[in-house]
Structure 1
């Protein structure tokens, strides 16, 4: 092989390497749509919905980071721009205080789930049917209402309930897990127990429960869960914003994921990916949105 031909082949090989590297970089850039940071509160409903949204966004090429926070910190994270969005805003009652504080600093993308409910919940076998009757049975309930995390809006409303009805029961804080554990233990022993409750929640599918009547309507009527985004997300990530804006499902669909998450050794993220795979018709509507 003469020197001129050899030099030509070397140049062609170099050009091919450069072109290949450029193509690879271009492909990587096309697939890298950026990172979306989702905040959420550690409620079974919000664990389900946030993981599903994560799975959908990842399916579309986004990297997704999830951070579990208290309700107050979750709202503040979106308002400050430390988080891009939440799909866990209970309005107009539960998170009313947070919306009042930072509503001008965030974008409300509207309802992602309709038909929620808040209140005090007891086993169906309980003789008590109304919050107004709790004082007559305070000893049966060990003088306490089993609550969840202290920063939750539901806990603030329950404090209002205790004051409005002048209840002789103390509100015990904990978590969603400790609340359901106390409920399960009482039901196994056919004992009375009263817990803070909300719909949708998997406990209503597992046990026969009832809401106590709230004649003073302190807990308010049915609520909705909203998607809230940081200001500027639409300009920074229009495709992610559009998916978040279009995300909407039913309590029944959310309940499917919540029940999957209650299976032993289950992974909420893997369950969400499975649900997304099994419900591509629903997911496609969010993507098309």
Structure 2
């Protein structure tokens, strides 16, 4: 009996020491290097540091599959990932975050949007507010180099899944014959947009939010039919006839952007997990955060601190105060 008690005591002390050591490890938040996700990651980082007194470090990686694998290992390599797009990352969520999995997906989310954008000034001046306006040759010419020929529309960067989708949509919305469909790096498209804004000329292209351009410029998203799954048929580009076989005649369904966190973090730091379940943003808020980082050249941490200071009521709700 005495021996059993002593053994139990030693085991308890070892367990406590092990738990303490695990708890002493910094919580890790993923920074993938692009401004929207940096904004949300650093808001979470500063929140946990300032409000809960946690030690939080940042891990840099640009590969989404690598992020999920690190979360799944539950060893502190990556504890929190603030930019889970659904359905974009559905396969990874299904693999790692289903019931009984090693990763938890917070229930709260905000919207990720996609569509076509032009500047509000051009939209108002030429009465271009719908995707169907683009099939008018005179309105399409607004986006040409000389206001007379074919328009130019940016449909995305090479290798983006959305670029193929936009090629289909341009055809099925009926305006492809009036435009040159441009495929360039996003940086080139943004430079073209900036030049058009400064010159007061036409620019139009694929756009998604959150994005710093929505905070930097006054953009208008063109109207289009609401998403209808029955009108979306996308064939993989590995099929040589993918374009002919694909058909899209409605808008995108808004994406859901969630926070994911390791199950081990939830077990070791239940107070952190409780807050992560409450943290959410709006698309506009994240666009503005990204603007401060990508355009105003603030560090993600400085931008996050300013955002938290300006949104005390939101933070109080997250903390349950």
TM-score > 0.5, shorter chain as reference = yes
Greater shift, 188-197 or 127-136, is seen at: 127-136
1:109 maps to 106
Unaligned segments of structure 1, at least 5 residues: 1-28
Question: Is the 8 Å Cα contact of residues 51 and 268 (structure 1) preserved in structure 2?
Answer: yes
1:248 maps to 280
User: What is the TM-score when the length of structure 2 is the normalising length?
Assistant: 0.64
Change over 3 Å in CA distance of 1:68–1:180 after alignment to 2: farther
- For 1:39, what is the secondary structure of its paired residue? strand
> Among 94, 111, 118, which residue is 2:114 paired with?
118
Q: Does 1:65 pair with 2:70? A: no
Change over 3 Å in CA distance of 1:173–1:69 after alignment to 2: farther
1:235 maps to 267
* Higher alpha-carbon Rg: 1
After superposition, residues 99-248 of structure 1 pair within 5 angstroms as 99-100=93-94, 102-104=96-98, 105=101, 106-113=103-110, 115-124=111-120, 125-126=122-123, 127=126, 128-131=128-131, 134=134, 137=140, 140=144, 143-145=152-154, 147=156, 150=159, 155-166=160-171, 167=176, 169-170=180-181, 172=183, 174-175=185-186, 178-215=188-225, 216-220=249-253, 222-248=254-280
> Among 15, 22, 29, which residue is 1:38 paired with?
29
Change over 3 Å in CA distance of 1:89–1:280 after alignment to 2: same
> Among 71, 78, 82, which residue is 1:83 paired with?
78
Question: Is the 8 Å Cα contact of residues 113 and 210 (structure 2) preserved in structure 1?
Answer: yes
Change over 3 Å in CA distance of 1:76–1:198 after alignment to 2: farther
In 2, Cα distance between equivalents of 1:171 and 1:228: 35
Q: CA RMSD in A?
A: 3.6
- Residue 118 (structure 1) shift: 1.4
- Residue 53 (structure 1) shift: 0.7
After superposition, residues 10-29 of structure 1 pair within 5 angstroms as none
In 1, Cα distance between equivalents of 2:285 and 2:70: 28
Unaligned segments of structure 2, at least 5 residues: 1-19, 145-149, 226-248
